[in-house]
Amino acid sequence: MAFKEDFRVIAEQFDDYRILRYQVPGFEALPLKKKLLVYYLYEAALSGRDIIWDQNYRYNLLIRRMLGQIVSGFKGDRTTEDWKKFLLYVKKVWFSNGIHHHYSMEKLVPDFSQEYFRSLPASSEEITVPDEFSSLEAFTEYILLLIFDKHTDSKRVCLDEGTDLVAASANNFYEGVTQEEAGLYYERLIPDDKDRPVSYGLNSKLVKEGAALKEKVWRVGGMYSAAIERIVYWLEKAAKTAENEAQEAAFNKLIEFYRTGDLKKFDEYNILWLNDREPQVDAVNGFIEVYGDPLGRKATWESVVSVRDEEATRRTKIISENAQWFEDHAPIPPQYRKEAVTGVMAKAIHVVVEAGDCSPSSPVGINLPNADWIRAEHGSRSVVLINIMTAHNEASRESGVIEAFAWSDVQAERQRTHGNQSYLLHVDLHEIIGHGSGKLKPGTGNPADTLKNYASTIEEARADLFALYFATDPKLIELGLMPDQETGYAAYDNYITGGMMVQLAGIEPGKNLEESHMRNRQLIAAWAYEKGLPENVVEKKIRDGKTFFVINDYEKLRELFGKLLWEIQRIKSEGDYAAARKLVEDYGVRVDPVLHQEVLRRWKALNIARFSGFINPVLVPEYQNGEITDVTISYPEDFTLQMLDYDKKYAWLPVKN
């Protein structure tokens, strides 16, 4: 899908951030009933926005309100350098859903002075001072400390080996609890039936009250009730407008989960959602991603509302229909291979709105559900976000990254010719056959219990390795998914260069890798590079003071990917914590400081942003005689205005210190 020529993808760029826009092809042609369904799901999505802010850090909502009120009501000079630096900081906070960087997890550092910040609230209208504070000045000092103190809550997610990961992480999943206490608490909840484990802790905050540990469950009547009540309100409307009875049943089961907080209801919802394959309109809505918890147990809230792209779904359908072939030919231990791959569904979608953990920074693919036992018994659903990927590609076509990091003209031309197709294929293979493959050893239990803080990295590495292993397989040519192996070679070039170098542009100097996807990519690339040294499979070359990683033998590299996949599947299937820890710590964490500095210099010379996020489209219902007669869609261009608008319309949770 190409965007209309007059559609401007890049809305703005500030510092290392680029704000993009995306279109929703075909929305106007939807019948009214489907437009209404999309609209109700759209409102349900945005109604949960506050949840991710509070999950990321217990003071985020308090900070966000003051920052937003200053941006709206500041009466001073908005042309000064200090004001520009302040607005830049606020945009970074909006982008990250809080005061910690969305990728590095480090606290964002203001570039303006404390003295300047002190002057802002007093020069602004409508600053709401909570009752706990005696004055605006006292409130200002409190917020100032949270923002400027580098040593207080410095890292949202801490994965540093040898550290109490719970105590060292600033997220709002635990309070007064140590890592050891949290581990023991959930170990006692592990059921005898380890083959169908309940994902205990997925939707709750664990706190210590006196000497006792207690869960504050995220549900109606519990923690986050005000926002969840609004989500339920709109889901009830969606259920009444569902495309079929199966979709209605799934929405009602999700509502039941939100009302009760019962995780078994969430499993039941996931099964219903999986088995309903017909609707054109779909939504992801719930506590889903576990990357924000250092223990990989508690899930951040997110929602994606979408409309199926029938043309692009053809490619994903081919892969899903051949999932058994990929499973049978994967280099994994035979005992952990699925004998009968069932329920693997894939589709390509156009996103209508994203909220929570997937906004403003968006994924390009999603594979759900996360529970391995549901995958084994009922299958999985993979979705590829076509209009999001198209926006990324449109924005990056002329960035110069290809030329800057390609060793040769041949490599650069391969990326220009095949890079986009290899990227789409990698996401398809990663989501459909990667996450949807393999099985656990009977009795192993939830990977969050066995692999703990390494579970997310291991699972992402497993999915990437499936995609990489098959990227050059002639089967893809036979299925009509790629024209020749040059597409696969482009995927290998991009992955090795990206994992060893390019992704380091997103990390601050002196820092190691914290985010699970980044750890996974470096783990694979660095392991393959090291193991291939005897045969010079991947060669490190220097030219004009610049480093390049050049693949000399693509087939041998594929063999290395296969060997690593075998081991990582074994690790996950058997719950081998010690092996997971060694792989991730040896290859996926530490950054070569000299190479890092070089990458930062080369990236800076390109003058492009390291991170991309999105402005959502806006849906507006049109009424006649009290009834909705149409829903229109528009594409705003101002990131600041959208964030301020969301603050007013969807601020359902109370702010507190």
If residue 549 lies in a helix (H) or strand (E), which one and from where to where?
strand 546-551
Cα gap 634→619, rounded to integer Å: 7
Residue 1 pLDDT grade (very low, low, confident, very high; cuts 50, 70, 90): very low
Average pLDDT over residues 145-151: 94
307 pLDDT more than 70: yes
Mind listing the pLDDT tens digit for each residue in 527-580? 999 999 999 999 999 999 999 999 999 999 999 999 999 999 999 999 999 999
399 pLDDT more than 80: no
Mind listing the pLDDT tens digit for each residue in 643-656? 999 999 999 999 87
Tell me the β-bridge partners of 289. 300
Phi, psi at 273, each rounded to 5°: -60, -40
Question: How many other β-carbons are positioned within 10 Å of the β-carbon of residue 75?
Answer: 9
pTM of the model: 0.82
* Contact yes or no for 114/71 (Cβ under 8 A): no
* Contact yes or no for 360/102 (Cβ under 8 A): no
* Contact yes or no for 1/386 (Cβ under 8 A): yes
Residue 202 pLDDT grade (very low, low, confident, very high; cuts 50, 70, 90): very high
Three-class SS of residue 24?
coil
Following CA atoms 276, 282, 283, 288 in sequence, which dihedral angle do they give, to the nearest 10 degrees? Answer: 50
Residue 421 exposed, middle or buried by CB count within 10 Å (0-12, 13-18, 19+) = middle
Average pLDDT over residues 313-330: 91
Cα gap 569→459, rounded to integer Å: 9
Considering only 285-299, 343-357, 542-556, which range has the smallest mean pLDDT?
A: 343-357
Mind listing the pLDDT tens digit for each residue in 423-472? 889 988 998 899 888 999 999 988 988 999 999 999 999 999 999 999 99
104 pLDDT more than 90: no
Phi, psi at 615, each rounded to 5°: -90, 130
Average pLDDT over residues 507-513: 89
Q: Which two tokens stand for residue 549?
A: 């990683």
Mind listing the pLDDT tens digit for each residue in 152-168? 999 999 988 889 999 99
DSSP per residue, 516-546: HHHHHHHHHHHHHHHHTGGGTSEEEEEETTE
The answer to whether the Cα torsion of 14, 169, 151, 509 is positive or negative is: negative
